[in-house]
Amino acid sequence: MTPPEHALPVRFALRIAATPWQRMRGLLGYPALRDEEGLLIKPCNMIHTFGMRYCIDAVFIDRQFRILKIASYIAPLRMRQCLFAHAVLELAAGRAESLNLHVGEPLPDYLRHPAAAAAGSAPNHQRGQSAAEFLIIFPVLIFLVFGIIQWALIYQARSTLNHAAFLAARAGALHHGSQGDMRSALAAGLTPLFASQASDTGYAQARARAESETVPGLVTLQILNPTREAMNDFFSRNRLDNGPGKEIPNDTLMYRNPAPGGSSGMSVQDANILHIRVTYCYRLIMPVVGRMIRAVANAQPTAEVFQATGMSRPFGAIDAPPAAGCVDPQGDQTPRIPIRTEAVVRMQSSFWAVNLP
């Protein structure tokens, strides 16, 4: 079959990729194909466009050069496959349509590389090469899958921590800024991260695990407001429960003087806003990827990741220093990275001076 005259190139430059290295590289590192250029990859039934910056067309053909499938305008970071294809012809984006190529028809002669045509019906002497290529690309694919899973888990942990921090701030607002109550509420909010079964027993186990994850060393809870200066300005009365220390009054705020304090520069109304920051040392569970993320988060030298304290034992505990501030009281050296969030609520009780560090 011949394409229309306006689409027929004067000379079609067709390259063939037959060796393992040529097939694995494909068009990587090459400029975008021109209309009169193409690449025939043989044998091949699946292609990808990872690392490419331009779109292409892919024509999948069998041993008799019959077209089995046409994939047009394949964008970067995509994969295409045809199970029974023997070779793939890669063309410039949109070129398959302009050359009037159709599924079920034979590939035009001018699109067949002489060497490929000669080998089209010859015995296949390259069997087993696909297995070698698979062994090369498989670890890369596994690494990508592990990375996707780990980043998804980090995102889930951050979302859960956002809600847990709000619960902690609300507990502090109701209990005079008590850090004990805030840590307990934080553990309740983090419990879904550790749930593995929908039962009372599963909840109890998840809650116990969350309690162990919110101890000092794994969780840092900072009270950003009220400040020490606000304490000096507005701790004007003894606690109403006759306990030790003073408190910032929380009653009848709408009638109190809104003038800013001399030390803090804020009003008593603003001093009754509880602002906390929670930093949680999240445990990275995916092998290899976890410690690489930990190394980046800690700004460690890249070489350290591949030394004895990094990649040499990807499935076991590591000896590298933990993330700054992330020290497990149980001595677990599994890689962790700090995840931080903040929450702001208005106090619903008077803030006690004893609860401000």
Q: Where are the beta strands (DSSP E) in the chain?
A: 13-17, 37-41, 46-48, 56-61, 67-74, 79-81, 87-92, 219-225, 237-238, 246-248, 273-283, 336-346, 351-352
**What distances in angstroms separate CA 34 from CA 57, 77, 114, one per listed residue?**
12, 21, 20
> Which of 109, 127, 145 is the endpoint of a domain?
127
Q: Considering 99, 127, 155, which residue would you say is the last residue of a domain?
A: 127
Is 72 part of a structural domain of the chain? yes
Query: Where is the domain boundary, 127, 143, 167?
Result: 127
The alpha carbon of residue 248 and the mean position of all alpha carbons in its chain are separated, in whole angstroms, by 43
Q: What is the pTM of this model?
A: 0.60
**H helix intervals, 72-178:** 95-98, 114-118, 129-174
Picking from 265, 188, 212, the residue whose alpha carbon sits closest to that of residue 234 is 265
Residues 185 and 118 in one domain: no
Q: Please, what sign has the CA dihedral across residues 357, 228, 185, 334?
A: negative
Check which CATH number belongs to the domain holding 46 and give it: 2.60.120.1140
| Co-location of 112 and 193 in the same domain | no
Q: Tell whether 160 is covered by a domain.
A: no
The span from the CA of 91 to the CA of 106, in Å, is 16
The answer on 224 and 119 residing in a single domain is no
Q: Is residue 143 part of a domain?
A: no
> What is the rounded CA–CA span in Å between residue 320 and residue 317?
9
pLDDT, averaged per 10 consecutive residues of the chain (357 residues), comes to: 46 82 83 89 88 91 93 90 91 91 89 54 48 70 88 92 95 93 94 89 91 88 90 82 85 88 89 92 86 72 41 39 58 81 93 87
Question: With contact defined as beta carbons under 8 Å apart, do 32 and 123 qualify?
Answer: no
3-state class (DSSP) for residue 188: helix
Q: Is the same domain home to 71 and 212?
A: no
Check whether residue 187 and residue 107 sit in a common domain.
no
What pLDDT was estimated at residue 74?
93
Whether 47 and 79 have beta carbons less than 8 Å apart is answered as yes
**Whole domain around residue 330: which residue ranges?**
181-355
Residues 6 or more apart whose Cβ sits within 8 Å of residue 72: 57, 93, 94, 96, 97
Contacts of 84 (CB under 8 A, 6+ apart): 45, 62, 68
**Two structure tokens written together for 232:** 């000096």
Supply the pLDDT for residue 104: 92
Number of domains in the chain: 2
CB atoms < 10 A from the CB of 317, how many? 11
Shared-domain flag, residues 105 and 220: no
> Are residues 79 and 216 located together in one domain of the fold?
no
